[in-house]
Amino acid sequence: MFSYIIIVSGQVQGIGYRYFVERAAKNIKITGWVKNLDNGNVEILAEGEEKILENFVSTLKTKHPYAIINDIKITKNKINKINYPDFNITF
C-alpha cells in the first residue's frame, strides 16, 4: 500500500476539478481527499495499491476537459494500512 500526496498546478480551480478527482478516485476504490489550496493549486492525498495510484495520476493529467495541467508533484510513502474509509472533497 502507498500514500501519494499530489500537488496539481495549472488551471485547476473553478472548473470542477475536485469533483472530477473525487469521482475518479471513487471509481477505482482509492481513499483520501482532495482540496483547493490558496495559491491556486489542488492538493490530493490518495491511498491504495501503487499500480492503481499510478493509473489515477495518469487520469489526473489527461482526462478533465477544461483543466490545463502545468505540473504534478508527487510524494510517495509506503504505508501499512489505509487511513481513510473513502475519498472526499475537503475545504
Positions annotated as catalytic residues are: 18, 36
**Strands 42-48 and 87-89, bridge-based pairing:** unpaired
CA–CA dist 66, 68 (Å, integer): 7
**Strands 68-78 and 2-11, bridge-based pairing:** antiparallel
